Structure 1
């Protein structure tokens, strides 16, 4: 593995010359030169310089709103990391973040970030979570709330996820706020992020009560807030979070915890049937937190699963 160092004199000259091309509007020529210069530096054993050149190029293209070119160079950075067995360390995560923050939210930024996040998927550092947070915020900006939720759940920023839930619930039917909150909290728990799920639930309770206080200052909780905070689905969500917290403190699940989880699902079955997708989330939570293997499909679907490699 090559030693990490800042580009030397020659590579710095290359960076400056190529940035000059970009600033003069010679985007296609600059893009081709970035790629050939990367290959040349790599062949010389100067992989750090080669990847830093691509980083500078992606940022320069983004500043000129040449997002297709920026994305192409950004994806080439990730490809270089993958093909050369680069370690997922803070320096390389910083390179990816520099490219991401230079881009404008949209299809191109999403394509780059998804590839970058896939490369960092087994890393649980703050810098890796920042990439997921950038992706979530970008999705909010473009109005893709479902994609934003997916990345907020693993971003390590439950308070921002709570704000998204509030925004999303406002677009839903009256009386479904508890369902939006439940779905988000279970989603977070399904990624084994118990602490974040607890913070998320508390943050959602705060804005539910805050909206109520704004509409009826000085009064006790109105029927609107009570409908959310006293609904069966809210109680179920709170119980599941608390059970997962107990498991986290214990370090490993017990048969009693697994039995309690299954009992909660049984008792609140009618409320859970409000959204068929909750079962999938709960199956994953049961597996991740309590060692409860999800049921295998029977009948024709089960046979197809076995034929295609299922157990």
Structure 2
């Protein structure tokens, strides 16, 4: 008798969901996007209560895409945030790279002027960080975001995300455009040197090599793959990348002394080179630093994760208001 009651209850719930889905479809077709949005949120709460995470994710993603195609950016962004919320609650997502791709697609479809896009971007990076155990966020997430900013010609933001993407080829090509649009020809070497040193501090040597090779080979001011380059700083970076595999601290220090005038052009290089000496040449940590690398890019993490508590409070309040006005499924 209990099994019969349970089956009847499930059938009733399915019938209620199907009625809302049918009504939702009519709302979309008639252009009543507000009503459709409310019904998506109603289904979201119902699916979550039943722990139907896969169904919930598919519903929300497809709904968000439909809103965005119809230029309903606020509603699309809101459903995107519910996708992240569902991914966080589901915890064990079998194909998380698929959802990284999908989140990247959603973010790219939202108008850059929509405030919620930045919130979705930050929460997506944070989720990708948690699911991949990469404190900076999954490299694929950064690659997708970097490419989006590049296509929007927001080169500074593209540079930031390419730095964490492990896509040296894309990073090098973007830096060429950045240096040509934001700097003088005499500053060309500064653009690539800073990024390569930062990548090395992130222990991304292969990305650093790829970025440098792409930049120097294709940049019209340089157009060379090997030294001697006309710009001494480029020669320094080239030899540094070759020297890292040897681990010879004395030669590293000699190289730094030799190119000291070029290195001194940017005061931040000294900090990076101190970290590189510790990471790759077994140098003792500088006495003024208690941490050989953990704090160097803490600002990158803070940019993504600051203010999440406030966002969560706002989202919870919005959810509560919507929940109170949910459509009756039964």
Does TM, scored on the shorter chain, surpass 0.5? yes
**Mapped pair 1:44 → 2:50:** yes
For 2:184, which of 134, 156, 173 is the aligned residue?
173
Cα offset, 1:86, TM superposition: 3.1
**Mapped pair 1:235 → 2:235:** yes
**Mapped pair 1:78 → 2:88:** no
**Mapped pair 1:131 → 2:141:** yes
Go from structure 1 to structure 2 and tell me whether the alpha carbon gap of 1:80 and 1:272 turns closer, same or farther (over 3 Å shift): same
**Mapped pair 1:270 → 2:261:** yes
**Mapped pair 1:193 → 2:185:** no
Cα offset, 1:297, TM superposition: 6.6
CA contact (8 A) 1:113 1:131 kept: no
Residue number in structure 1 paired with 2:300? none
CA contact (8 A) 1:106 1:142 kept: no
Q: Could you say which structure has the greater relative contact order, defined with CA pairs below 8 angstroms and 6 or more residues apart?
A: 2
Spell out the pairing of 1:203-222 with structure 2 (5 A cutoff): 203-208=214-219
Cα offset, 1:272, TM superposition: 1.7
**Mapped pair 1:92 → 2:99:** yes
CA contact (8 A) 1:177 1:228 kept: no
Q: String of CA shifts for 1:100-154, please: whole Å, max 9, x gaps.
A: 45445565544423321221126399x9533322211221233322211111122
Q: Secondary structure at the match of 2:186?
A: coil
Q: String of CA shifts for 1:162-215, please: whole Å, max 9, x gaps.
A: 12111111131231111112122223222222112112111122113x5677xx
Distance 1:270 1:31 in 2: 60
Residue number in structure 2 paired with 1:65? 71
Go from structure 1 to structure 2 and tell me whether the alpha carbon gap of 1:27 and 1:258 turns closer, same or farther (over 3 Å shift): farther
CA contact (8 A) 1:158 1:200 kept: yes
CA contact (8 A) 2:67 2:75 kept: yes
Q: Secondary structure at the match of 1:238?
A: helix
Distance 1:24 1:289 in 2: 62
CA contact (8 A) 2:100 2:140 kept: no
**Mapped pair 1:120 → 2:136:** no
Unmatched segments (≥5 aa) in structure 2: 1-13, 291-330
Residue number in structure 1 paired with 2:270? 279
Cα offset, 1:284, TM superposition: 4.2
What is the alpha-carbon root mean square deviation over aligned residues?
3.5
Aligned length, in residue pairs:
270
Go from structure 1 to structure 2 and tell me whether the alpha carbon gap of 1:17 and 1:91 turns closer, same or farther (over 3 Å shift): farther
Cα offset, 1:94, TM superposition: 4.4
Distance 2:198 2:65 in 1: 34
CA contact (8 A) 1:15 1:56 kept: no
